[in-house]
Amino acid sequence: MSTDRGAPPPPDPNDPDAYSDEELRAAYEAELARIRVDDVLIQTVVSLLNLGARRAGLTDAADGEEPDFEQVRLAIEGARALLPLVEPTLGPDVKQVRDALSQLQLAYARSGAKPPAGAPAAAGAGAPQDAPKEPPKPGDPDSAVSSGRLWVPGR
């Protein structure tokens, strides 16, 4: 590999000041052209599960941190909302994601945390808390029977 002794060294890729605004914009545009929405959704689900596990105290990194089960609940709700959108893309890896979600749901349920008063009721939006619940219908996306997902308080 030969180098031109008179040419300046290439810019440090870790130094954003080494690039002009035009170079940064071009790199950003190239990344946007390359990345897919599926990639962002999958990364979001994984990030929610990782954050939820940390907030539940399920990771070594959480040593000494006080569990925050409201954050865990939000992580569970977010992951559950996005999971149906990414399941086809995940293929056989969806089992690992579902297992992680199940572990997080179990930790939340074991914590005894109660969903906030404003959280959606399990019977559906706007339904009174003591209204009788209809049994799940086969094929219903929210059915624990058809999806294999656990029920989460507040859902």
* pLDDT tens digit at each of 155 positions of the chain: 555 566 666 667 677 677 888 988 998 899 999 999 999 999 999 999 999 999 999 988 877 889 999 999 999 999 999 999 999 999 999 999 999 999 999 999 999 888 877 765 443 333 334 444 555 555 555 555 445 555 555 55
Residue 26 lies inside a defined structural domain of this protein:
no
**Does the residue 64 lie in any domain?**
yes
Asked if residue 27 belongs to a domain, the reply is no
The domain of 100 spans: 38-115
* Residue at 71 is within a domain: yes
Residue 137 lies in a domain: no
Q: Is 30 exposed, middle or buried (0-12, 13-18, 19+ CB in 10 A)?
A: exposed
Q: Which pTM value belongs to this model?
A: 0.63
Quote the pLDDT of residue 129. Answer: 42
DSSP codes, 73-135: HHHHHHHHHHHHHHHHHHGGGHHHHHHHHHHHHHHHHHHT----TTSPPTT-TT--TTSPPPP
Does 125 map to a domain? no
> Quick check: is 78 in a domain?
yes
Give the number of domains in the chain.
1
**99 in a domain, yes or no?**
yes
